[in-house]
């Protein structure tokens, strides 16, 4: 069976696809077909992403241009879909079934760009092969916030196991656009609200996955046990304003590994683990020094 991983990006986020793919390559024993669906991308980023996935010579990569905004205009739905933080690329996942149909892709694992894989991904890829329609991790944050369109099976759309044949059969893309048209004023979380609500709880179309496959909290025990880490919210690990917690250290570990790979280093899992331990040690001593300085200030 083919193992397919899909991301959607533009030129602003393509450089972070490099880090995500570096983490995947070193945390699976399987050969992967990678798909990057983009509205815009730089040639240098295409070159870097291709180099990263070629660490396993059996991996493949395909770049597919798709402008969701133009698609909306063509279908005359653009006035009904609210802009996602000033752009529309996040909505591209709604069209993955039709975008990948010409390439014979039947099942895929979709991932946001602000994600890192820190443990073996094989089991999740196996689950994806057997998914009946669509699967994701329960979004407890949105449910607790009483988002208007939340429901019992409301999942975070950053990691989705997708049965593309079934979704195509159910006219998933058109159903999503129709839902956006009919509920424009109720949509709060953009594509996530739409994806979750095209199916009712009674349909049993959404399969809930284990939280370790999309851990978006920063709790240390959850982070240590996570297979997939997701940096939800406005604070991304590449931003200086993002606090140096364990979760960020893990992202930095793979980001450094990716940079070294691009410089010609033959990175191994052991080398990446060493990077992680070094980053954690530096973080520990820096925090200790800051606490010591604070103590001295108090004692003055």
pLDDT attached to residue 78: 62
pLDDT above 70 coverage of the chain, percent = 82
DSSP-based three-state secondary structure for 268: coil
> Radius of gyration of the chain from Cα atoms?
20
Sketch the domain layout of the chain as residue ranges: 4-252
How does residue 86 score in pLDDT terms, banded at 50, 70 and 90? very low
Is residue 143 predicted with pLDDT exceeding 70? no
Per DSSP, 155 falls in state B
Per DSSP, 210 falls in state P
pLDDT attached to residue 108: 97
Work out whether the CA dihedral 149, 154, 159, 164 comes out positive or negative: negative
Is residue 281 predicted with pLDDT exceeding 90? no
Is residue 291 predicted with pLDDT exceeding 60? no
Euclidean distance between CA atoms 235 and 56, whole angstroms: 32
Q: Is 78 left (phi over 0), alpha (psi -120 to 50) or beta?
A: alpha
Is residue 105 predicted with pLDDT exceeding 50? yes
Euclidean distance between CA atoms 205 and 195, whole angstroms: 11
If we measure between CA atoms, which residue out of 169, 155, 40 comes closest to residue 97?
169
pLDDT attached to residue 77: 64
Tens of pLDDT, residues 156-183: 999 999 999 999 999 898 888 888 777 7
pLDDT attached to residue 287: 57
Domain formed by 4-252, architecture:
Alpha-Beta Complex (3.90)
Say what the pTM is: 0.88
| Cβ–Cβ < 8 Å for 39, 65 | yes
The pLDDT of 192-210, averaged and rounded, is: 80
How does residue 71 score in pLDDT terms, banded at 50, 70 and 90? confident
């Amino acid at each position: 069976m083919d193992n397919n991983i899909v991301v959607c990006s533009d030129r602003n986020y393509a450089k972070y696809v490099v880090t995500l793919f570096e983490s995947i390559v070193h945390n699976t024993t399987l050969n992967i077909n990678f798909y990057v669906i983009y509205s815009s991308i730089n040639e240098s980023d295409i070159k870097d992403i291709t180099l990263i996935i070629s660490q396993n010579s059996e991996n493949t990569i395909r770049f597919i241009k798709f402008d969701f905004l133009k698609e909306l205009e063509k279908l005359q739905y653009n006035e009904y879909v609210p802009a996602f933080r000033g752009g529309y690329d996040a909505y591209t996942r709604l069209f993955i079934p039709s975008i990948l149909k010409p390439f014979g892709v039947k099942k895929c694992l979709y991932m946001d760009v602000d994600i890192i894989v820190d443990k073996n991904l094989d089991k999740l890829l196996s689950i994806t092969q057997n998914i009946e329609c669509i699967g994701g991790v329960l979004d407890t944050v949105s449910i607790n916030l009483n988002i208007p369109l939340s429901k019992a099976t409301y999942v975070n759309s950053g990691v989705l196991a997708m049965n593309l044949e079934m979704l195509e059969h159910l006219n998933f893309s058109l159903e999503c656009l129709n839902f956006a048209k009919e509920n424009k004023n109720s949509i709060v979380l953009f594509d996530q609200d739409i994806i979750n609500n095209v199916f009712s709880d009674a349909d049993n179309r959404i399969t809930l996955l284990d939280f370790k496959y999309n851990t978006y909290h920063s709790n240390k025990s959850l982070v240590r046990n996570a297979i997939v880490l997701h940096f939800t919210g406005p604070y991304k690990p590449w931003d200086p304003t993002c606090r140096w917690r364990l979760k960020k250290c893990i992202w930095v570990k793979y980001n450094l590994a990716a940079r070294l790979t691009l410089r010609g280093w033959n990175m191994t899992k052991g080398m990446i683990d060493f990077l992680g331990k070094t980053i954690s040690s530096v973080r520990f001593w820096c925090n200790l020094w800051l606490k010591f300085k604070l103590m001295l200030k108090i004692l003055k």
